[in-house]
Amino acid sequence: MIVLTADQRGSTRGPDRVPEALALVGARSSGRPGVVLPFDRTVGDELQGVLAADDDGAALAVDLVLDLVRDGGWSVGVGLGAVDRPLPEVSRAASGPAFVRARTAVDRAKRRGRGSVPLAVVGPDEEPRATVAADAQALLHLLGAVVARRSAAGWEAVDTLVAQRGPAPQRASAAALGVSEQAVSQRLRAALWAEDAAARPLAARLLRAAGADPDDGPDDSGRDDDPDGTDGAGEGSAR
């Protein structure tokens, strides 16, 4: 499993931003598979959710981590591995190694120096998954740095491009922004969008590899199978 925990930075000096962050991750997660337990406030100024360690959940985890880095003001921790089963309905009531690792990761993220990406990934201790988790962290740090340093004009070009669904997205983006295609292309190059888009799938594959739980069956929802088919139909259902 992939447990993602975000802690608001400087919360004692500012307003509660957890509702904003929940809206952010909710919008990104809407209509996408991979959510095992939905994001919710855990304690105080934290939010947490659980994602499947499969292609869908890992890809969503990468997007959510980078959305929170872009938003700013969050220390983000990713815990990978097994969880205690059966899973409850809400993440704050869940437990297991991946949750402990997410807590460790958040604490490490808080200690990162000024100017660094406040993000950490902690996976199982055994090899090769420990090294894979470290590789995932290194790549997410790099992606996070790109996201955090992207200019407003770069984000405008990226967001407009991503929203296009037609056969010529860059041309449509130029029309939507009222600029030339060359200007859009220049903004995207400066924003390192092609490099960002190419690296996200690799980060997702690393998270999936390090987060795979040997207890997971074909269904990554976290629900215990009932061999008699007579009980537990609503326990730990995926959202």
Helices vs strands, H then E, count in the chain: 8, 5
What is the model's pLDDT at position 216?
59
Pairwise CA distance, residues 146 & 148, whole Å: 6
Q: What are the residues whose beta carbons fall under 8 Å from the beta carbon of 150, sequence distance 6 or more?
A: 70, 158, 191, 192
Confidence of residue 166 (pLDDT cuts 50, 70, 90): confident
* Chain segment 60-80, per-residue pLDDT in tens: 999 999 999 999 889 999 999
Work out whether strand 119-122 and strand 74-80 pair parallel, antiparallel, or are unpaired.
Answer: parallel
Pairwise CA distance, residues 206 & 140, whole Å: 10
Cβ distance 61 to 105 under 8 Å?
no
Tokens of 109: 């993220």
* Chain segment 51-63, per-residue pLDDT in tens: 999 999 999 999 9
Asked whether the predicted pLDDT for residue 239 surpasses 70, the reply is: no
Asked whether the predicted pLDDT for residue 235 surpasses 80, the reply is: no
What is the model's pLDDT at position 236?
35
Asked whether the predicted pLDDT for residue 191 surpasses 70, the reply is: yes
Residue 40 DSSP class:
E
* Chain segment 173-182, per-residue pLDDT in tens: 999 999 999 9
What is the model's pLDDT at position 44?
83
Pairwise CA distance, residues 51 & 34, whole Å: 6
Asked whether the predicted pLDDT for residue 234 surpasses 80, the reply is: no
